[in-house]
Amino acid sequence: METVKKVLLILASLIVIAGLIMLVKSGLNYEDGYSKSMLLDTAKQYALYIGIATVIILVYFGVKYAKNGVGKVIATSALVIIGTQIVILSITALSKIKVNRMFFPIALVAYITSLIALCAKFEKN
């Protein structure tokens, strides 16, 4: 199990590195009628609400699972949340999937899935 985890972690790191290089080099592949400015505009609309929700959730995790170390819990949570989004972005950049309005719902589902996984992990510990 530990080996599988390590392999998955290495694979994810490689995907992230390759994806970020591709992102910087050639950007995302946008569908007709969708553009970078629309993506950034939509991201700005989400930023406030995601920010508020994430802060509340991190504070909740820090208080609820304080026994595991507040700093460690918050750092792990932040890393998992941000890491999931970076992986989604990297896969999108690498695979050249056409980016359209579906991008944000997919990112939201990934965000929520990462939160459920974090909760389950902390509860188990």
Partner 1 sequence: MKLKKYKKTVTVVIILIVALIMFASFFGASIKNSQGEKIGIIPDFKLGMEFGNKRVITATINNESSTVIYDSEGNVVEQEEGVEYTEEAGYKTEEIKVNADSVRTVENYKKEKEIIEERLKKNNITEYFINLNESTGKITIEIPENNEADSVQETISTISSFMLLDGETFETLLDESKLKEANVMYSQGNLEMAVFLQLEFNEEGTKKLQELNEIYVESETEQTNENGEVETVQTSKTAWVILNNQIIGQTVLPNIVYNDKIMLTFGVSSDNTELQEATKQANSSAILLNAGTSPIVYDFTNETQGSTISMEAMFTFLVCVGIVFIAAYVFMIIDFKAIGFIASYFQIGFLATLLLILRFTNVSITIEGIAGIIIAMLLQYLYTYIVLNSMNKEKEGMYKKSNLEFFLNSFPIYVIAVVFTFAKRVYISSFGMTIFWGIITIYVYNFVFTKFIYENLSRRSSNGNS
List contacts with partner 1 (CB under 8 A). Answer: 33, 35, 37-38, 41, 45-46, 49, 52-53, 56-57, 60-61, 64, 101-102, 104-106, 108-109, 112-113, 115-116, 118-120, 123
CB of 21 or CB of 60, closer to partner 1: 60
> Beta-carbon neighbour count of residue 11 at 10 Å?
10
CB of 14 or CB of 43, closer to partner 1: 43
Q: Which long-range contacts link 114-118 to residues 24+ away (Cβ below 8 Å)?
A: 114/80, 114/81, 114/84, 115/57, 115/81, 117/80, 118/61, 118/76, 118/77, 118/80, 118/81
Minimum Å gap between C-beta 116 and partner 1 is 7
Minimum Å gap between C-beta 14 and partner 1 is 26
